[in-house]
Amino acid sequence: MSGTIPNFIHDVIDADLAAGRETHVHTRFPPEPNGCLHIGSAKAIWINYTTAKKYGGKFNLRYDDTNPAKEDDSFVRSIEEDIRWLIGEEPSGGIFFGSDYFDQCYEYALKLIRQGDAYVCDLSADEMREYRGTLTEPGKESPYRNRTPAENEDLFVRMKNGEFADGSRTLRAKIDMSSPNIVLRDPAIYRILRVPHHRQGDKWCIYPLYDYAHPIQDAIEGITHSLCSLEFTNNRPLYDWVIEKIGFAHPPHQYEFARLNITNTVMSKRYLRKLVETGLVDGWDDPRIPTLSGLRRRGYTPSALFNFLRKVGISKVYSIVDIRLLEHCIREELNAVALRRVAVLEPLKVVITNYPGDKTEYFSLPNHPENPEAGSRQLPFTRELYVEQSDFMEDAPNKFFRLKPGGEVRLMGAYIVRCDEVIKDDSGKVVELRCSADLETGNAMPADGRKVRGTIHWLSAAHAKDAEIRLYENLFTIEDVNSIPEGKDYDDYINPNSLQVRKEAKIEAALTEAQAGQSCQFVRTGYFTPDSHTPGVFNQTVALKDSKGTFIVNGQ
RNA sequence: UGGGGUGUAGCCAAGUUGGUAAGGCAACGGACUCUGACUCCGUCAUUCCUAGGUUCGAGUCCUAGCACCCCAGCCA
């Protein structure tokens, strides 16, 4: 279940191992602590983690914290928590910080300077852009490109010592201003930035850029296969350049895979942040967004997520996965293990007219119909019950197998009842049903052999407990949020029904003891889990599948 | 009009040295059912972006096109 299907990365590794280019496998996941992890990050974690595992190698967690202007310590804590939750253990190779290698990055920069492979450039950001050229025209060499190594070293040391203003100079790799790959047109590898670092404090006023720092981090940690997403493909030649010029004995190699996209949701950190900051969702762990904390609060499990990722596979094709595959994976898992419970989301009172008002009897309901070992529990039955409003229809079509005037239905695990009378309020709304139970038959099959097709869930009004139940739908009404028409914005496609709160819900007594992190199936409606923030609130993980499109317990 | 990456069903995605298109999701039929769930059966690419070519035989090889994605941050 946790394995992977064949993929090009493992093909590469198999070849490396077979040819003796590598003797082992070491991977890493390098998040920048500038936001929360989401299911797209989970794909990167899963690929790196399972690859290391498959080959008996190690897996590192490394915070890629080279830009103090964007990073925050609170995110390193949330990332660590999410990863522990996801993989269920410590990263086997350890936890590191890219910033811990700043000294080495600095020393290697000096080495590049002395080799004539890097120079201090005084061009402003705007000038550098002009000199860079365009996609179709080569760039021009910087007038500072031919400074001597000694002059460059002097300048770079003074950059480090804080003698120059932010942005006034950069250290650049001396590669090729006419390269068709723009990444290679003398990229900046160090910038001056007077921003305190979350771990280094005020030690530095120059910080290395990703393209320069990343290969060094990988090499220092002994990473063999550096697996990242497709948008870094253009940067790979620079990655290799850094490794080669510094002269690492055992060069790591980078391989790229397509990032994850899912229909009707958003994966960009930038937009997730916007949703959180504008209050369109309720924090980074809002159950409607695909952050790991949100998914966790929603009731998703690491194994369901990993299974999902495994089924999606690894490729280099831009793709957008149907969110229903994700839902399938959590249903598949929860169906097998979740205990069945009764909850009435939208209660409608039912009075059993031929049942004594002072009587209570108990019916046994299985905790899991397919697993007798899960046992059963007793549900109290009394004259006044609650059933689901949507389980009654006054003018019902033929295929409606639930309660209707004059019709019979089975109360799950208990009596067959017939609807005799419908009581409405002044506005015509149905407020109560008066039914009669087949007391002879009890919870057995009818002796006369008549068929009762429908089975609905119910709760004794006197015994039911109150709860708030939150139902969720897709956050976006558009499948691909990456292709929003011109002139429109993400916000134009937010589903107004993404959260629906049922405050008047009723639940069976056993549910009052449910703990956050436990999932159960509310019979006939879906899988739910207690909210981790508010006691007495349940979050819907996913609705039960509704193959005929008529099982309307959710919404209208 | 530069460079890089990618094109297999509605959506993901396998396809060994060319040998006659896996699997999953979705959908649609049907069986079963005291959850309209689950489970179970069945249907779902004469065709692999297009056009040529090589071959007894091509998704796999060759040639030429086309489409989509990424790159012009002192972001990652």
Which portions of chain A are predicted below pLDDT 50?
Answer: 1, 551-556
Check if residue A374 sits with its Cβ under 7 angstroms from strand B.
Answer: no
Here the CATH number for the domain that contains residue A511 is 1.10.1160.10
Contact A440, A473 (CB under 8 A): no
Residue numbers 227-266 of A with CB closer than 7 A to any atom of strand B: 230-235, 258, 263
Report if residue A482 sits inside a domain: yes
Last residue of a domain, one of A457, A488, A503: A457
Report if residue A324 sits inside a domain: yes
Last residue of a domain, one of A430, A457, A484: A457
Please report, rounded to whole angstroms, the spatial distance between the CA atom of protein residue A276 and the C1' atom of nucleotide B70. Answer: 28
Nucleotide B24: nearest residue by CA–C1'?
Answer: A311
Measuring from the CA of residue A6 to each C1' atom, give the nucleotide at the shortest distance. Answer: B14
Residue numbers 140-179 of A with CB closer than 7 A to any atom of strand B: 166-170
Residues A497 and A419 in one domain: no
Rounded to a whole number, what is the distance in angstroms from the first to the last CA of chain A? 37
Tokens of A421: 């009378």
A269 flagged as catalytic: yes
**Residue-level pLDDT at A27:** 98
Report if residue A552 sits inside a domain: no
Tell me which residue of A525, A522, A526, A552 sits closest to A401, measured CA to CA: A552
Residues A128 and A46 in one domain: yes
Report if residue A264 sits inside a domain: no
C-alpha to C-alpha distance for A61 and A98, rounded to whole angstroms: 10
Check if residue A188 sits with its Cβ under 7 angstroms from strand B.
Answer: yes
A311 flagged as catalytic: no
SS3 A171: strand
Instruction: State which H helix or E strand residue A540 sits in.
Output: strand A537-543
Residues A146 and A204 in one domain: yes
Domain limits at A378? 343-457
Report if residue A116 sits inside a domain: yes
Check if residue A414 sits with its Cβ under 7 angstroms from strand B.
Answer: yes
Contact A156, A171 (CB under 8 A): yes
Please report, rounded to whole angstroms, the spatial distance between the CA atom of protein residue A260 and the C1' atom of nucleotide B19. Answer: 36
**Residue-level pLDDT at A546:** 86
Residues A364 and A446 in one domain: yes
Residues A127 and A214 in one domain: yes
Tell me which residue of A250, A320, A246 sits closest to A290, measured CA to CA: A320
Please report, rounded to whole angstroms, the spatial distance between the CA atom of protein residue A271 and the C1' atom of nucleotide B70. Answer: 20
Report if residue A171 sits inside a domain: yes
Residues A19 and A156 in one domain: yes
Residues ≥6 apart with Cβ < 8 Å to A349: A384, A385, A386, A431, A432, A433, A461
Residues A296 and A433 in one domain: no
Residues A64 and A148 in one domain: yes
Tokens of A233: 């493909």
User: Looking up tokens 């590192």, which residue turns up?
Assistant: A60
**Residue-level pLDDT at A555:** 36
Residues ≥6 apart with Cβ < 8 Å to A397: none
Tokens of A170: 């950069």
Contact A186, A171 (CB under 8 A): no
C-alpha to C-alpha distance for A63 and A292, rounded to whole angstroms: 17
Residues A230 and A167 in one domain: yes
Q: Give the bases of strand B that a protein CB approaches within 7 Å.
A: 1-8, 10-15, 22-28, 34-39, 68-76
**Alpha carbon distances (Å) from A374 to A303, A337, A371:** 21, 9, 6
Residues A210 and A170 in one domain: yes
Report if residue A333 sits inside a domain: yes
**Residue-level pLDDT at A552:** 45
* A408-434 tens-digit pLDDT: 999 999 999 999 999 999 999 999 999
Instruction: State which H helix or E strand residue A53 sits in.
Output: helix A39-54
Concatenating the DSSP letter of every residue in A133-163 gives --SSS-----TTTT--HHHHHHHHHHHHTT-
- pTM of the complete model: 0.96
Last residue of a domain, one of A429, A457, A485: A457
Check if residue A548 sits with its Cβ under 7 angstroms from strand B.
Answer: yes
CA angle, A548 then A554 then A556, to 5°: 90
Here the CATH number for the domain that contains residue A65 is 3.40.50.620
**Residue-level pLDDT at A280:** 95
A62 flagged as catalytic: no
Residues A54 and A93 in one domain: yes
Domain count, chain A: 3
Measuring from the CA of residue A10 to each C1' atom, give the nucleotide at the shortest distance. Answer: B14
Q: Are strands A465-472 and A499-507 parallel, antiparallel or unpaired?
A: antiparallel
**Residue-level pLDDT at A550:** 52
Measuring from the CA of residue A312 to each C1' atom, give the nucleotide at the shortest distance. Answer: B12
